[in-house]
Amino acid sequence: MSDASRPIAILGGTGPAGMGLALRWARAGETIVLGSRDAHRAEQAAKNIKTRAGNQARVSGMENSAACATADLLVLTVPFEGQAALLKQLKPAIRPGSILIDATVALAAAVGGRASRTLGVWQGSSAQQAEELVPKGVSVAAAFHNLSAELLNGDETLDCDVIVCSDDPQASQLTRALAARIPGVRAIDGGKLENARALEQITALLIGLNIRHKGHAGIRITGLPSEAYR
Amino acid sequence: MSDASRPIAILGGTGPAGMGLALRWARAGETIVLGSRDAHRAEQAAKNIKTRAGNQARVSGMENSAACATADLLVLTVPFEGQAALLKQLKPAIRPGSILIDATVALAAAVGGRASRTLGVWQGSSAQQAEELVPKGVSVAAAFHNLSAELLNGDETLDCDVIVCSDDPQASQLTRALAARIPGVRAIDGGKLENARALEQITALLIGLNIRHKGHAGIRITGLPSEAYR
């Protein structure tokens, strides 16, 4: 990345995960468009990020479809129960050639169950469900499931790796570059989109560890050669 | 642990994972009984471990059922395709009150598929399948899925955490104590046995990373309070 003229639209971006990513990327000099169902809420959230990231930060807020139309780098940070409906609604607004980075996890909380359990998704994972719902020619990458929203919204350097899965090598590379802009994060190519299944399971495991041990768990991958980490 | 008079039987223990655990625990002073279908093979493997761990090491080898009858700490390190059959065979030999530590992962390799993919197991995970197959009163813990067999068989300190899942708090604690005897390993209570689902998925992900990046991947869990790590 570092091409700050290429904005990143964070859809459903006023939740904790979206806000945290927006804060970190705004601080790194990226141009952020926060999307929300409610344009006013998005504007307020953008103001909030600007206050924290400094006045030079480039952050705006607008309704999800409008946000979508401003960018070809889209990050989806909604609870699983909202994912399919939002993608169907956004379909006409998504620009051809866009990259959709999906951070959704099918937690059982979506249907009133525990956040430490997952639902089975017919396609194999939330990311693969997203791929079925985006227009043709739009690439999907799965990433950012395992960063603590609470830590992202803080000021500390993170201690976590981001594994990126995508069937499109360019989408994977761009997503890894974005991940590496977050202080303390190393990005790792996790191969095909289908491997998102495992990434999404890890989130449920980490949520369980957080409940049990009262922490903000993340993961580091050890034992790979240094060129595997970005 | 450290109660070296309480032997650990490693069933299917002549494969790379079993041998690696045996080596590390033998070096730590534990008493190891290696089990194999073939008693002669088990004896040879035990000799091999003794050569590497030093002559004071307490390691013997015998047929799986015989190994099972000598210990109440059982570690199962067989490929998924052999798990159910071995447990059915061992059922009469497993002592009441034993703890079975299952390290099995239902990799698709079991049916000729890829080791970076998993099979769906009806019970939810290989560990839960094991629980269905052990005699009443035997506790199952899931652990050690994500330690590289190659690194275990080496001499270096590991850089990996072991998450332990069990419905029996005492089995979990004993398993964590055993894990922590491996140099470089921190043990973490991962809660209920059902959470083994996520642990087993991680193995497939790590295998995929190893193939892609030519490494020996492991995981560390970050962000938990220090008392969460043993």
Chain segment A92-144, per-residue pLDDT in tens: 999 999 999 999 999 999 999 999 999 999 999 999 999 999 999 999 999 99
* DSSP string computed for A9-70: EEETTTSHHHHHHHHHHHHTT-EEEEEESSHHHHHHHHHHHHHHH-TT-EEEEEEHHHHHHT
A171 with A140: CB under 8 angstroms?
yes
Give percent of chain B with pLDDT exceeding 90: 97
Q: In this model, does residue A4 exceed pLDDT 70?
A: no
Here the tokens at position B215 are 């490494």
User: Mean pLDDT across chain B, nearest whole number?
Assistant: 96
Task: Report d(CA A163, CA A178) in Å as an integer.
Answer: 12
Mean pLDDT, range A5-24, rounded to an integer: 95
Complex ipTM over 0.90:
yes
Determine contact: A168 vs chain B, CB below 8 A: no
* Nearest chain A Cα distance for residue B69, angstroms: 34
Q: In this model, does residue B176 exceed pLDDT 90?
A: yes
The strand pairing partners of B61, in sequence order, are B34
Q: Do A205 and B188 touch (CB under 8 A)?
A: no
The pLDDT score that the predictor gives to residue B3 is 58
The pLDDT score that the predictor gives to residue B55 is 86
* Nearest chain B Cα distance for residue A229, angstroms: 10
Residues in chain B closer than 8 A to A217 (CB atoms): 221-224
For B18-40, the pLDDT digits (tens) are: 999 999 999 999 999 999 999 99
A12 with A82: CB under 8 angstroms?
yes
A25 with A178: CB under 8 angstroms?
yes
* E runs forming strands in B23-154: 31-36, 58-63, 73-76, 99-102, 139-142
B98 with B70: CB under 8 angstroms?
no
Task: Report d(CA B162, CA B187) in Å as an integer.
Answer: 5
Residue type, B81: E
Q: In this model, does residue B2 exceed pLDDT 70?
A: no
Nearest to B147 by CA among B137, B157, B138: B157
Mean pLDDT, range B61-69, rounded to an integer: 96
Residues in chain B closer than 8 A to A159 (CB atoms): 222-223
Residues in chain B closer than 8 A to A221 (CB atoms): 206, 209, 217-219
Task: Report d(CA A169, CA B152) in Å as an integer.
Answer: 33
A80-90 helix and A126-133 helix, angle to the nearest 10 degrees: 20
Q: Which CA distances in Å does B208 have to A195, B215, B221?
A: 8, 10, 19
In this structure, of A100-104, A183-187, B4-8, the range with the lowest mean pLDDT score is: B4-8
Determine contact: B160 vs chain A, CB below 8 A: yes
Burial class (CB within 10 angstroms; exposed 0-12, middle 13-18, buried 19+) of A3: exposed
Q: In this model, does residue A172 exceed pLDDT 70?
A: yes
* DSSP string computed for B63-88: EHHHHHHT-SEEEE---HHHHHHHHH
At residue B1 the predicted structure's pLDDT band, cuts being 50, 70 and 90, is very low
Residues in chain B closer than 8 A to A215 (CB atoms): 223-225, 228
Q: Which 8-state DSSP code applies to residue B160?
A: E
At residue A1 the predicted structure's pLDDT band, cuts being 50, 70 and 90, is very low
**Farthest CA pair distance, chain A:** 47
Q: Do B223 and A225 touch (CB under 8 A)?
A: no
pTM across the whole model:
0.96
Q: Do A209 and B228 touch (CB under 8 A)?
A: yes
Determine contact: A199 vs chain B, CB below 8 A: yes
Residues in chain A closer than 8 A to B220 (CB atoms): 219-220, 222
Q: Do B215 and A228 touch (CB under 8 A)?
A: yes
- The total of other beta-carbon atoms located within 10 Å of residue A172's CB is 24
Residue type, A143: A
Nearest to A223 by CA among B176, B154, B213: B213
The pLDDT score that the predictor gives to residue B4 is 56
Residues in chain A closer than 8 A to B185 (CB atoms): none
Task: Report d(CA A112, CA B39) in Å as an integer.
Answer: 52
* Nearest chain A Cα distance for residue B203, angstroms: 9
